[in-house]
A and B are shown apart, each in its own frame.
Chain A
Amino acid sequence: MASEKMTGAEIVIKSLVDLGVEVVFGYPGGAVLPIYDALFQQNRIRHILVRQEGGAVHAAEGYARSTGKVGVVLVTSGPGATNAVTGLTDALMDSIPILCLTGQVPTHLIGNDAFQECDTTGITRPCTKHNYLVKDADKLGDVMHEAYYVASTGRPGPVVIDLPKDIQFAEGTYEMPEKVEHRTYRPQIKGAPQALEQATALLAGAKKPIIYAGGGVINSGPRASELLTKFVHTTGYPCTLTLMGLGAFPSKDKQFLGMLGMHGTYEANMAMHGCDVMICVGARFDDRVTGRLDAFAPDAKIIHIDIDPSSINKNVTVDIPIIGDVASVLEDMLAIWQAKNYKADGKALDTWWDMINGWRSIKSLGYEHSDKIIKPQYAIERLYQASQKLDRETFITTEVGQHQMWAAQHFHFEKPNHWMTSGGLGTMGYGLPAAVGVQLAHPDALVVDIAGEASTMMNIQELATAIQYRLPIKVFILNNEYMGMVRQWQELLHGGRYSETYSEALPDFVKLAEAFGGVGLRAENPGQLDNVIDEMINTPRPIIADICVDQTENVFPMIPSGAAHNDMLLNTADKNANPVSAAGKVLV
Chain B
Amino acid sequence: MASIFPDKIGTDVIERHTMAVIVDNEPGVLARVVGLFSGRGYNIESLTVTTISEDEQQSRISLVTSGTPMIIEQIKAQLHRLVPVSIVHDLTEEGPYIEREISLIKVAATGEERRESLRIADIFRANVADTTTESFVFEVTGSKEKIDSFTHLMRALGKVEVARSGAVAIARGSEVL
Contacts and interface: CB of A to CB of B under 8 A. Distances in A.
Interface of A: 121-122, 125-126, 129-130, 133, 150, 182-185, 198, 201-202, 205, 301, 308-310, 312-314, 317, 319-320
Interface residues of B, number: 26
A150 to B, nearest CB: 6
Contacts of A301: 5
B73 interface: yes
A429 to B, nearest CB: 24
B74 interface: yes
Interface in B58-92: 70, 73-74, 77-78, 80-81, 83-86
24 contacts: A125-B28, A125-B35, A129-B83, A133-B28, A182-B83, A183-B24, A184-B84, A198-B4, A198-B5, A202-B1, A205-B1, A308-B81, A309-B77, A310-B74, A310-B77, A310-B81, A313-B70, A313-B73, A313-B74, A314-B77, A317-B10, A317-B70, A319-B6, A320-B5
B9 interface: yes
Contacts of A150: 83
A314 B81 CA distance: 13
A121 B28 contact: yes
Nearest to B39: A126
A183 B86 contact: yes
Contacts of B8: 317, 319
Contacts of B80: 309-310
Contact of A185 (B9, B10, B83): B83
Given A126-B35, A313-B73, 9 more contacts: A122-B28, A125-B31, A125-B35, A133-B28, A182-B83, A184-B86, A313-B70, A314-B74, A317-B70
B27 interface: yes
B84 A309 contact: no
Contacts of B6: 319
A184 B79 CA distance: 12
Interface in B9-28: 9-10, 23-24, 27-28
Contacts of A310: 74, 77-78, 80-81
Contacts of A205: 1
Contact of A184 (B5, B32, B70, B83): B83
A88 to B, nearest CB: 15
A301 B5 CA distance: 10
Nearest to B36: A126
B108 to A, nearest CB: 38
Nearest to B4: A198
A368 B34 CA distance: 53
Interface string B106-147: 000000000000000000000000000000000000000000
Contacts of B23: 184
Contacts of A129: 83
B35 to A, nearest CB: 6
Given A125-B31, A183-B24, A319-B8, A309 B1 contact: no
B7 to A, nearest CB: 9
The interface centre, meaning the residue of A150, A312, A314 with most chain B CB atoms within 10 A of its CB, is A314
A183 to B, nearest CB: 6
Nearest to B81: A310
A130 B34 CA distance: 15
Nearest to A150: B83
A312 B81 CA distance: 12
Contact of A317 (B9, B32, B39, B78): B9
Contacts of B35: 125-126
A314 B70 CA distance: 7
* Most A Cβ at <10 Å: residue of B5, B35, B83: B83
B44 to A, nearest CB: 16
A83 B2 CA distance: 51
Nearest to B74: A314
Contacts of B83: 129-130, 150, 182, 184-185
8 pairs of A and B residues whose beta carbons are closest in the complex: A310-B77, A184-B86, A130-B83, A309-B77, A319-B5, A317-B8, A185-B83, A310-B81
B6 to A, nearest CB: 8
A121 B80 CA distance: 20
A183 B25 CA distance: 12
A298 B78 CA distance: 27
Of residues A121, A150, A202, A309, which shows the largest number of chain B Cβ atoms within 10 Å of its Cβ? A309
Nearest to B57: A183
Contacts of A130: 83-84
A252 B150 CA distance: 72
A367 B152 CA distance: 71
